[in-house]
């Protein structure tokens, strides 16, 4: 509790972390309160052909799209998909990557080398390429996007956890815990894991931004959830044939992606400064 309070207080003094937190708060509020905040909450599924491609106005704050739906309202419901994809994909990557990293970091031998080699294979190709291949193979849908992102992102966590676990093995407290007769299970879960939580949290925050960006690229290429889902990347792809006239149609979802990813990146940077002094962005003033 007191540790959490300490982190929060330090974060409060970091301007970029505050901006990041504010952006994420706006995102979460938009997603949760979408039915209340939306000016045209039914436009996700309804068509209004007579209203199509209207410029931003008092009734349609961000204009309308090719179906005559309110862009602002669809954007709010799109935030739900974005959060869903980010949370589940990063959560699944954590669930796969952290245990693998812990086991491979604790045990020395060919099995550990093998596990790390497997994660190297995934890291050897740009994530978006593998994710595109998997998403296309499985077919465009929300669960498949999440699956493709999880399968390609876990090696990042495995790498971080592996390196940190290996580094901790020389520490006195690990040696003494082992000497006291703690089982490997108890040692890694109760003693090693809490000590390497900081880099995992930082990686998870940056991973949220990264995953959301890749998910948008998949949606843009037509590999995301099918229409009429108001997914941001797909909306940008749909808007292209109506450029340059319907500029709001393309600009609004891209801006939403940008602010969301920026929020998680800024928070990640702030967390890194607070939690992991070794990785400071710049030397502190009194250094």
Partner 1 sequence: MRLMALAVRRLLWFVPTLVGLLVVTFVISRVVPADPVALVAGETATPAQVAALRHELGYDRSLPVQFVDYLVRLARGDMGVSLFTRRPIVDDLAHRLPATIELTVVAMIVSVALGIPLGVLSALWRNSLLDHVLRVVTVSGLAIASFWLGIMLQLLFAMRLGWTPLNGRLAGYPPRDLTGFYLLDAVLTWDWSTFGAALQHLALPAATLAFPALATLVRFTRAGVLDVMQSNFVLYERAMGLPPPLIVWKYILRSALTSTVTQVGLLFGILLAGAVVTEAVFDWPGIGTYAVSSILRSDYNAVMGFTVWAGAIFIVVNLLVDLAHTLVDPRERQT
Binding site for partner 1 (CB under 8 A): 16, 117-118, 120-122, 124-130, 132-134, 136-139, 209, 213, 216-217, 220-222, 233, 236, 240, 243-244, 247, 250-251, 253-254, 257-259, 261-262, 265-266, 281-283, 287
Q: Return d(Cα 230, Cα 225) in angstroms, integer.
A: 9
116, 162 in Cβ contact below 8 A? Answer: yes
Q: Closer CB to partner 1, residue 180 or residue 287?
A: 287
Residue 242 CB neighbours (<10 A): 15
Residue 21 CB, shortest distance to partner 1, in Å, is 15
Residue 176 CB, shortest distance to partner 1, in Å, is 28
Q: Closer CB to partner 1, residue 20 or residue 105?
A: 20
Q: Closer CB to partner 1, residue 105 or residue 263?
A: 263
Residue 220 CB, shortest distance to partner 1, in Å, is 5
Least Cα distance to 85 among 31, 38, 124, 121 occurs for 31
Q: Return d(Cα 160, Cα 196) in angstroms, integer.
A: 9
Residue 107 CB, shortest distance to partner 1, in Å, is 20
Q: Closer CB to partner 1, residue 40 or residue 155?
A: 155
Cβ neighbours for 28, distance < 8 A, ≥ 6 positions apart = 83
Q: Closer CB to partner 1, residue 73 or residue 265?
A: 265
Residue 166 CB, shortest distance to partner 1, in Å, is 16
Cβ neighbours for 178, distance < 8 A, ≥ 6 positions apart = 187
Q: Return d(Cα 40, Cα 193) in angstroms, integer.
A: 47
């Amino acid at each position: 509790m007191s540790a959490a309070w300490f982190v929060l207080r330090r974060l409060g003094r970091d301007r970029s972390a505050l901006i990041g937190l504010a952006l994420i708060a706006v995102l979460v509020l938009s997603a949760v309160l979408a039915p209340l905040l939306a000016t045209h909450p039914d436009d996700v599924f309804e068509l209004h052909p007579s209203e199509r491609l209207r410029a931003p106005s008092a009734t349609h704050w961000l204009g309308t799209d090719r179906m005559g739906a309110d862009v602002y309202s669809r954007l709010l419901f799109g935030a739900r998909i974005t959060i869903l994809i980010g949370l589940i994909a990063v959560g699944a990557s954590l669930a796969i990557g952290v245990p693998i990293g812990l086991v491979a970091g604790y045990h020395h031998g060919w099995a550990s080398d093998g596990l790390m080699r497997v994660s190297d294979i995934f890291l050897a190709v740009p994530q978006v390429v593998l994710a595109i291949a998997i998403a296309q193979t499985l077919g465009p849908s929300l669960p498949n996007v999440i699956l493709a992102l999880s399968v390609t992102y876990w090696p990042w966590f495995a790498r971080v956890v592996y390196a940190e676990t290996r580094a901790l093995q020389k520490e006195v407290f690990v040696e003494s815990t082992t000497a006291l007769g703690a089982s490997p299970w108890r040692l890694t879960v109760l003693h090693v894991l809490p000590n390497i939580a900081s880099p995992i949290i930082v990686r998870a925050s940056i991973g949220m931004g990264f995953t959301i960006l890749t998910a948008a690229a998949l949606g843009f290429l037509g590999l995301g959830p099918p229409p009429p889902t108001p997914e941001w990347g797909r909306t940008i792809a749909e808007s292209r044939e109506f450029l340059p006239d319907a500029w709001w149609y393309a600009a609004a979802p891209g801006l939403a992606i940008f602010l969301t990813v920026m929020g998680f990146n800024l928070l990640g940077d702030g967390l890194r400064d607070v939690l992991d002094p070794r990785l400071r962005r710049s030397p502190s003033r009194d250094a």
